[in-house]
Amino acid sequence: MQTLTVLPDYLRTAAWTRLVRLPHPSTGGPALFLLYKTAAGDGILELQAIKPDEHEKRSWFVGKETVCSDGRLLLFTPIDAVYLLVRVLEAAQSTNKSFLPLGDIFGSAADHLGFTGKEAEDFVLQSSDIAALEHLTCVQGALEKLCDARDLGGELKAYRLSERRLCDYLAARVEMIARSPAFATCGALVSGLSKAGIHTSEDCLGGPTDISDIVKQQAREQIAIQLLSQYLSPEHQTLLRDRYKHEELAQHLERDSITAELLTHMPGLRKPLAHENSNPSEGLPDGPAFHKTSSGAGLAAAKKKAKPLVSSGVARLAKVNTSRVHKLSSFFTKKGTPPSAGATPESESQNPLDEVRDGSQRSASQDSATKDAPGSSANEPTSSVPMTAPSAGAAA
């Protein structure tokens, strides 16, 4: 099956190339890399694949008559040899922490290094693939950056991995990426800044941007760490993150999160802040003290004072006349049958004043009936004691 592949132009004049399968610097799983040598130097390329979703069918039209049914796009991108050598050096020194010559490093790594992950059982790491790294000039230069070295006489040197050198090198890469002008042009980097609360034109309140240079620099450094973490093991990712505290950025993100949550409860704040006010605190509750609280206490207090928002639909429903609408309990009464959809129960249709009036009329009719009853007197007091017939002695 044909696959469309994009290669650098300098590979056309390469004197030597070799495709090897080595553990990925981050996951340890099998990954393909292309080693090459040209007149200008040597290097390592990483094979990456861009493929469509599983449910989508794609093809490539190459030229006028060729159709490539495989929708993947293979890319060979340069990779720093430092990231590949970290796992090699750790495997070589897993049993021997002493200085090792160049040949012994790759020989020991071939004995102890292997693939990890889901695809580890499908591939076997070839010792020849690891040994091929020894002959690259870029690999020898990477060893100088990562290891402490000792001269063995002549041109021979022994190397040992240094955690300090590794952290210093990674920190230098973070600083280089953070100061790169690509942050203004690369869409992925701009999106990363937006997620970190760094906006180019207006902040989340709708006013002018007022973010310190320290916060911006720390946001760039955090994105750079995320990029480098794609080629670092979890242990080295932790070491790199621990080197950067980014306290100012954490405080900024906390305030930004509280402010965004406040705007969901008080959307009216956005309108006054959209104007070009000389006082950035104008329009905010509690005045200037609202912004001076670094912990967000002013935002939390204003949030508590904010009235709950009511949607327009709920407001319209509150104005609907429900006096003639059946209650659910009216359909479960014991007397009679449930009222029809068009009928209205008397108790539901009457006004509360009418019910009071009807009750007084019923009381008056009961009193008149009592007066008209035979043997009854209007002034005769009532008693709950039953009347008994007089005895014979009493009658006499």
**Per-residue three-class SS string for 35-102:** EEEECCEEEEEEEEEECCCCCCCCCEEECCCEEECCCCEEEEEECCHHHHHHHHHHHHCCCCCCCEEH
Run of H or E including 156: strand 156-161
pLDDT confidence of residue 293: 45
Place of tokens 């070491």: 239
Residue with tokens 């240094």: 162
Q: Is the pLDDT of residue 121 over 90?
A: no
Q: Tell me, what's the pLDDT at 174?
A: 93
* Cα–Cα distance measured from residue 267 to residue 247, given in angstroms and rounded to the nearest whole number: 29
Closest listed residue to residue 130, CA positions, set 139, 121, 142, 117: 139
Taken in order of first residue, the domains within the chain and their CATH numbers are 4-161 (2.20.25.530), 166-254 (no CATH)
Query: Buried b vs exposed e over 183-217: b needs ≥16 C-beta within 10 Å?
Result: beeeeebbebbeebbbeeeebebebeeebeeebbb
User: Taking a C-beta distance cutoff of 8 angstroms, is the pair 32, 19 a contact?
Assistant: yes
Q: Which of 7-11, 129-133, 188-192, 234-238 is predicted with the least confidence, judged by mean pLDDT?
A: 188-192
pLDDT of residue 283: 45
Q: What is the pLDDT of residue 42?
A: 96
CA distances from 345 to 116, 186, 329, 334 (A): 76, 70, 12, 14
Nearest to 71 by CA among 49, 104, 99, 101: 49
Confidence band of 125 (pLDDT split at 50, 70, 90):
very high
3-state secondary structure (DSSP) of residue 160: strand
- Say which residue, 203 or 242, is predicted with more confidence: 242
Summarize pLDDT for 233-290 with one digit per residue, the tens.
999 999 998 888 877 777 766 766 655 555 565 555 554 444 444 444 444 444 444 4
What is the pLDDT at residue 89? Answer: 95
pLDDT at 322: 76
Nearest residue to 284 via CA among 352, 224, 205, 216: 205
pLDDT of residue 262: 53
Residue 369, classed as helix, strand or coil, is helix
Residue 33: pLDDT band with limits 50, 70, 90: very high
Among all chains, which residue has been given the structure tokens 């041109």? 155
Evaluate whether 253 touches 260 at the Cβ level (below 8 Å): no
Give residue 251's pLDDT. 74
Interval 93-110 mean pLDDT: 90
- 297 vs 60 pLDDT, higher one: 60
Alpha-carbon distance values, 171 to 43, 185, 224, 318 (Å): 22, 23, 10, 61
| For range 147-173, the mean pLDDT | 92
Residue 74, pLDDT score: 94
Residue 276 and residue 268: Cα distance in Å, rounded?
16
